[in-house]
Structure 1
Amino acid sequence: MRNNLDIQSIDVLVKMYELSNVKLVANSLDKSSSAISKILSKLKIHFEDPLFVQTKSGFEPTPFMEDNIGYFEHILSNLDAIQHTSFNPQTLKQDIIIYGAPLFLDRFADKLYLEIRKQAPVAKIFIRQWNLEARSRLIAGEDAVLFNAYDETLPQVMMQKTICDISPTFFVRNNHPAHTFQELQAFPLVITGNASQDHFRYPLLQRLNAIGNKVICHGEIENTLAIENLVRSSDIYSVTMGQQFPEGCRAIELPSLSDFNLNLAMIYHRVKQNDPQKKWLFKLSEKIINHQ
Structure 2
Amino acid sequence: MNKSLARLDLNLLITLQLLLQELSVSKAAKKLNVTPSTVSKSLSKLREWFDDPLFVKTPHGFSPTSLAISMEQELADWLQLSSQLLAKRGDEIPNGIRFNLAMESPLLLTMFNQLSQQIYQQYPDAKVKVHNWDYDSIEAIIRGEVDIGFTGRESHPRSKESVELLPYFINYEVLFTDLPVVYLHKITLRYKKSGTFQPL
Q: TM-score w.r.t. structure 2 length? A: 0.41
The answer to which structure has the higher strand fraction is 1
Of the two, which has the highest radius of gyration?
2
Q: TM-score w.r.t. structure 1 length? A: 0.29
